[in-house]
Structure 1
Amino acid sequence: MAKDLSPADALLAGIDTLPGKSLLAAGGVALSLYLLYRQALPKPLPGIPFDEESAKRILGDVPYLQAMKDQGLAARMFWPEQFDKYGTAVSQYFMGPTQKAAVALGDYREVHDLLLRHGKDLCRGPLVASVWHGVMPAHFIGMEEDNPAFKAAKALGKDLMTPSFLHEVNAPASYQKVLSIVKLWQFKSELAEGRAFDAAVDLGYLTYDIITAAALNIDDNDTQIRKYIRELGELKQPATVPASTTEPAEFPPSELTDMLSALFTIAGASGKAFQVPSPKLFHLFNNRTAKMKKAYHDRDTIIRSYIGDAVRRLQEEGDNFKPTSAMDFIVMREAAAAKKENRAPDFYSDTVVQVTFGYLLGGQDSTHATLSFLVKRIGANQAVQTRLRDTLRKAFPEAWSQRAQPPLQELVKAQIPYLDAVIEEVLRIDPPAVGITRETKKEIKILGHTIPKDTVLFLSFMGPTYTSKGFLPEKTGEALRSESSRSHAGAYDVDDWTKSGYPADEYHPDRWLKESEDGSGELTFNPRAGPFLTFSTGTRVCWGKRLAYLELKLVVTVLVWNFVFERLPENLEDWVYDEDLFMKPKNCRVKLSSAWDV
């Protein structure tokens, strides 16, 4: 019978057997898996450069980021480096099977124009929101502006960046804490016997003390640095001093307070969430660890205890209540909002707790990052440091003649262009954030490329036009810019730092100075000298910008007033980045001597 079957019938008969059915099923599964695999591969946008190898794998560019981390490099430098890799201001990248192609933009004028004039076309997007929602779901930082809770949450901190709060509450609290690190470093310098020592830990303690003093009005004796000084003083051998003068002295770290430990833990979790394809999935598992549970418990418990103190004083003093901390202002805002809405105030809500904690977190870690870069820069640039010290002595001649500290009230009000330039140049060349991400709410054009709706944008704050030459052609590039960008050409002295008189990748505070227009010959600070977006711009400009400048001004003045930051031995000087919530130097050491002797 089999000999009489046609070839087609024979094939069907073979398939109908058990081995044949199994083979067909396996083929179907293989085909389905192949189709799923093809579907999961990145879908590049037309006309925008990308890595062809990344487009051939489901994980896209994620292996590159992991390789950078494995080599001890900052994975976030992946984005600025893409522009040099492709020789373009616009590139695309792929962050895994669930993510669409994302676009990176490395051109100051276009980034500035998008954020400042086209903010309505952009949103934070679910990716960034999920980073913050995982640790502070009730804070406005993880919300879009159209979220009903956004406006109310942001209103709680409305008073915290006003000049009156910064000058009357924040500055005095900060100043006392800065004087504490002077005592710590005088003690450490003596013990180090002329050798360098780590400064990163101490600067972390300092910025924590400064921000908690302003936020919670903590007692001076309860600060981390005062606690550290006491601990070192009780040790028989507080320093390990090597025989070689080119090796650093070692000091044991301080035992962290519960609040500082919670802050470091939550900041670390936030930083890691920025480095993974799925922040939501990361937080889902990470928040279940004992370490994170303790951090959240300590955060909420400690902050609510301070809320209780503020509420008690508000109720006792009534109209005579005088706020002395950020917490006091937040409690007052909640009371006023409740009265206006005809409801009972919810002083202990997650929103009040997390808005307070967000003030602590943002103010501590970003300022810590900048100060770490700053002490390295002034140590490596001795002429800059000497000029700054001379400038400060001329600004406060009476204090210098009396060998006293610069008076706080004079320091807050003083206009010192070179001090502003020294700080601005650190923020330019070593920004705590290399860029930000946004998501398009509609189809837009960027430098001639069509970017679909719901596309993630990485907007760079370093790299081309900031610290290296931009990639838009001089003659034809202008036509590619948006109409609003073209209409604002010339708004800054240069739109690419390689067009200035100073190398873009070098530290030169003078780039921010110009002669006064009154013909006096005096130098003035010029904030519009060239590309600078460290604090972003537009509707989501950094909320703590004024606070950051005030703290940096206070700390830098006092440190340079009291110490000479000597040039480090060659083996200890490097410029390798590390990353946590913000970018920091991998190593931050100082070699100090007394400024009163020079």
Structure 2
Amino acid sequence: MWERITSFNKANQLTYVLFCGIGSWLYLCYRLALPRPIPGIPHNKEAVKSVLGDIGPMIKHVGKTKELWGWVTLQNLKLKSPIIQLFTRPLAKPWVVITDFREAQDILLRRTKEFDRSDLVGDVFLGLMPEHHISMKTNDMFKRNRQWLKDLMTHDFLHQVAAPQIYTAFADLAHLWEEKSRLAKGHPFAASDDIYRATLDAVWATMFGADPLNSSIGAQLRLYSSINKLDIPKDENALVDFPDVPNPAAMQSIITLTDSLETSIKAPLPALAHWFLRQTSSMRKAYAIKEKLIREEIEKTLRRFVGKAGKDWDIRCAIDSILSRELLLSEKDGRTPMLQSRAMYDEIFGFIVGAHDTTSTAISWALKLLADNAHVQTKLRSEIRLVFVDAMAEKRIPTVQEITKGTIPYLDAVINEIIRHSLTQPGVARSTTVDVEVLGHQIPKGTNILLMSNGPSFLSPAFQIDDSLRSSSSRIATDRVGTWDPDDIAYFKPERWLVEEDGRQLFNAAAGPLLTFGLGPRGCFGRRMASLQIKLVLIQLIWNLELQKCPAELSGYSSIDKLTHVPQQCYVRLRQAL
């Protein structure tokens, strides 16, 4: 009996020890999984008490506003610091978030050996275009791929090849809206899809050459031109619903693939989220169509190049320029051309994605901001008409040649102010390549740094920072870019980009902070083309059409704060300009 009791007690003791051991091990794992702050950098105190860190509040905000980056900058305001850390992924290092232009400029321009492409960028794009330069660190492959695109931003290519294609696509949009305005009879209508399609038409024609069968706006224009009238609501503020026209299959594949990036950008685990998305039949079909399209377009260009010397190649579109550049580089290096490589396909596809998605968003903002600021629209139309006097006298829209040769400082100022407010790129991500010091804080190697452009020093007053905390290179470059007046920094005010010189108003690109296109060797290579697109569309639309403010329920901003004012849909109400 005593032996059985002793045996039972030993079993209980063993169970107890085992239970304590497992419990201790689980508690140790829990403690190790808790976020580990970088010493000294402000953070949300409640975040370090949960394995999920800041993920809960972040997801709640995104679910409410459909927007992530405004929440990020709100944390700087909440913690009252230009530099903070956020814990947005389990078992990972924190993000360090900086909301100060001078510090961002210093990191991107003068500290490039300490900072490189962030893994956050790789996680977003690797699943869709793994060998595009945006997915690479700044290495030889990155430089090679950028070389392929080198000629696309030259004056000759932009004005002689790209501008005519862009002009035609947006002329079609202007004609489409004239037809819609006729049918809508003064009622507002949704415009975002039209802008998205027109911008894709423009980029498509720039990349592959004009093709009427792949013109989304052209298909709509043919339909609406054939309609005499629509059923119009009695309420003059009610939306008119227009019949839709399906996109051409090749274009729809690009749209499907581009839209998939939204899943990556907003997910706590972008690479995993996009992997699951790529397993769907719609994504697989879109990817196959895209691959077939690029292969055929490459073959088409090469057939035109056969038997001709490099100086005789007829460069009609961007793919011609990219392939010709690689043919010349490969000949110089004594290697086989990479014409059907994964990298080549990804650069061609990436050009289409980059040149149309963010630009269409900026154009949507342009229309909204000009409609909501009638005095700016009126002045812009007047300035445009003063420059193109021949077109006014002949009662026609300026030609593409007139537009590309014309200089309108106020138009340049309006475009920059639109870009400043549109937040198509609310920040730039980098990763530390070594242990670094930023604003007096030690940040370890391999930390993701977010340089935000949607808050303090850009759209709200800058944080006051002691200059002794800045790097020596930052202190030396103090006055190279101006600062915005805190009293009107949040307003839409194109005049902030103009300066007086010898009695004339001139556009000053360095008047104040702007980070939408990034800076330095990894800055957006397509900045000049984006500005050209916005210039061409604004002149053609503003010349003959007046953008009227829509009803309050359609012209408001979707967000709950000033940092996330992203229009989920752009609406327009048009009438002929006098």
Aligning the two structures, in what range does the TM-score lie when normalised by the shorter sequence? over 0.9
Name the Cα RMSD after superposition: 2.2
Residue 20 of structure 1: CA displacement?
A: 4.1
Taking the aligned partners of 1:173 and 1:383, their CA distance within structure 2 comes to 31
2:372 corresponds to 1:380: yes
Per the alignment, residue 495 of structure 2 pairs with 510
Taking the aligned partners of 2:218 and 2:9, their CA distance within structure 1 comes to 82
Greater alpha carbon shift after TM alignment, 340-349 vs 74-83: 340-349
2:524 corresponds to 1:531: no
2:136 corresponds to 1:143: yes
Taking the aligned partners of 1:72 and 1:87, their CA distance within structure 2 comes to 23
Per the alignment, residue 543 of structure 2 pairs with 561
2:267 corresponds to 1:267: no
Contact 2:104 2:451 in 1 (8 A): yes
Per the alignment, residue 470 of structure 2 pairs with 481
Deviation per CA, 1:534-565: give whole Å up to 9, x if none.
Answer: 11101111110111111111111111112100
2:372 corresponds to 1:347: no
Q: State the TM-score, normalized to the length of structure 2.
A: 0.95
Look up the equivalent residue of 1:402 and give its one-letter code.
E
Per the alignment, residue 234 of structure 2 pairs with 243
Deviation per CA, 1:190-218: give whole Å up to 9, x if none.
Answer: 11110111110100011001101110003
Residue 2 of structure 1: CA displacement?
A: 5.5
Alignment length (residue pairs): 574
Residue 261 of structure 1: CA displacement?
A: 1.7
Per the alignment, residue 282 of structure 2 pairs with 291
Taking the aligned partners of 2:205 and 2:541, their CA distance within structure 1 comes to 19
Per the alignment, residue 6 of structure 1 pairs with none
Per the alignment, residue 541 of structure 1 pairs with 523
Per the alignment, residue 152 of structure 1 pairs with 144
Per the alignment, residue 70 of structure 1 pairs with 63
In structure 2, relative to structure 1, the CA distance for the partners of 1:23 and 1:254 (3 Å cut) is farther
Per the alignment, residue 389 of structure 2 pairs with 397
Look up the equivalent residue of 1:253 and give its one-letter code.
D
Taking the aligned partners of 1:15 and 1:232, their CA distance within structure 2 comes to 88
Secondary structure, in 3 states, of the residue corresponding to 2:430? Answer: strand
In structure 2, relative to structure 1, the CA distance for the partners of 1:447 and 1:348 (3 Å cut) is same
Secondary structure, in 3 states, of the residue corresponding to 1:120? Answer: coil
Taking the aligned partners of 1:259 and 1:435, their CA distance within structure 2 comes to 31
Residue 234 of structure 1: CA displacement?
A: 5.5
Taking the aligned partners of 1:300 and 1:218, their CA distance within structure 2 comes to 19
Look up the equivalent residue of 1:410 and give its one-letter code.
E
Taking the aligned partners of 2:417 and 2:261, their CA distance within structure 1 comes to 27
Greater alpha carbon shift after TM alignment, 451-460 vs 122-131: 122-131
2:118 corresponds to 1:125: yes
Residue 423 of structure 1: CA displacement?
A: 0.7
Per the alignment, residue 99 of structure 2 pairs with 106
Taking the aligned partners of 1:155 and 1:371, their CA distance within structure 2 comes to 28
Contact 2:117 2:138 in 1 (8 A): no
Look up the equivalent residue of 1:70 and give its one-letter code.
G
Deviation per CA, 1:27-80: give whole Å up to 9, x if none.
Answer: 322221211111111111222211112211111111122111221341221112
Taking the aligned partners of 2:485 and 2:15, their CA distance within structure 1 comes to 66
Per the alignment, residue 55 of structure 1 pairs with 48
2:400 paired residue among 405, 408, 416: 408
Greater alpha carbon shift after TM alignment, 439-448 vs 64-73: 64-73
Taking the aligned partners of 2:319 and 2:361, their CA distance within structure 1 comes to 25
Q: After the TM superposition, which segments of 4 or more aligned residues of structure 1 sit over 6 Å from their partners?
A: none
Per the alignment, residue 243 of structure 2 pairs with 252
List gaps (5 residues or longer) in structure 2: none
2:189 corresponds to 1:197: yes
Residue 152 of structure 1: CA displacement?
A: 2.5
Taking the aligned partners of 1:479 and 1:137, their CA distance within structure 2 comes to 41
1:216 paired residue among 197, 200, 208: 208
Taking the aligned partners of 1:54 and 1:189, their CA distance within structure 2 comes to 52
1:362 paired residue among 339, 354, 357: 354
In structure 2, relative to structure 1, the CA distance for the partners of 1:583 and 1:255 (3 Å cut) is farther
Deviation per CA, 1:343-363: give whole Å up to 9, x if none.
Answer: 443422222221111111000
Look up the equivalent residue of 1:506 and give its one-letter code.
Y
Secondary structure, in 3 states, of the residue corresponding to 2:442? Answer: strand
Taking the aligned partners of 2:364 and 2:9, their CA distance within structure 1 comes to 71
Residue 287 of structure 1: CA displacement?
A: 1.5
2:450 corresponds to 1:458: yes
1:326 paired residue among 318, 326, 348: 318
Per the alignment, residue 7 of structure 1 pairs with none
Look up the equivalent residue of 1:515 and give its one-letter code.
E
Identity rate, percent? 33
Residue 576 of structure 1: CA displacement?
A: 2.2
Per the alignment, residue 427 of structure 1 pairs with 419
Look up the equivalent residue of 1:183 and give its one-letter code.
H
Taking the aligned partners of 2:70 and 2:181, their CA distance within structure 1 comes to 34
Look up the equivalent residue of 1:65 and give its one-letter code.
M
Look up the equivalent residue of 1:493 and give its one-letter code.
G
2:15 paired residue among 16, 19, 22: 22
Look up the equivalent residue of 1:510 and give its one-letter code.
E
Taking the aligned partners of 2:316 and 2:118, their CA distance within structure 1 comes to 36
In structure 2, relative to structure 1, the CA distance for the partners of 1:557 and 1:284 (3 Å cut) is same
Taking the aligned partners of 1:56 and 1:211, their CA distance within structure 2 comes to 48
Residue 21 of structure 1: CA displacement?
A: 3.2
Contact 1:466 1:531 in 2 (8 A): yes
Deviation per CA, 1:429-483: give whole Å up to 9, x if none.
Answer: 222011021111112222111111111111011200111112225xxx2222221
Contact 2:34 2:91 in 1 (8 A): no
Secondary structure, in 3 states, of the residue corresponding to 1:119? Answer: coil
Taking the aligned partners of 2:188 and 2:417, their CA distance within structure 1 comes to 24
Deviation per CA, 1:115-159: give whole Å up to 9, x if none.
Answer: 11111100113232122111001211100112x432322222221
1:493 paired residue among 462, 470, 482: 482
Per the alignment, residue 303 of structure 2 pairs with 312
Deviation per CA, 1:296-324: give whole Å up to 9, x if none.
Answer: 11111111111111010001444522110
Taking the aligned partners of 1:2 and 1:102, their CA distance within structure 2 comes to 62
Contact 1:88 1:472 in 2 (8 A): no
In structure 2, relative to structure 1, the CA distance for the partners of 1:186 and 1:294 (3 Å cut) is same
Look up the equivalent residue of 2:546 and give its one-letter code.
V
List gaps (5 residues or longer) in structure 1: 4-9
Contact 1:432 1:584 in 2 (8 A): no
Q: State the TM-score, normalized to the length of structure 1.
A: 0.92
Residue 571 of structure 1: CA displacement?
A: 2.3
Taking the aligned partners of 1:334 and 1:426, their CA distance within structure 2 comes to 36
Taking the aligned partners of 1:486 and 1:337, their CA distance within structure 2 comes to 41
Taking the aligned partners of 2:14 and 2:545, their CA distance within structure 1 comes to 82
Taking the aligned partners of 2:557 and 2:366, their CA distance within structure 1 comes to 12
Taking the aligned partners of 1:526 and 1:344, their CA distance within structure 2 comes to 45
Look up the equivalent residue of 2:279 and give its one-letter code.
R
Deviation per CA, 1:245-266: give whole Å up to 9, x if none.
Answer: 1122112332122232222222
Residue 95 of structure 1: CA displacement?
A: 1.3
2:432 corresponds to 1:440: yes
Look up the equivalent residue of 2:473 and give its one-letter code.
S
Residue 23 of structure 1: CA displacement?
A: 3.7
Per the alignment, residue 171 of structure 1 pairs with 163
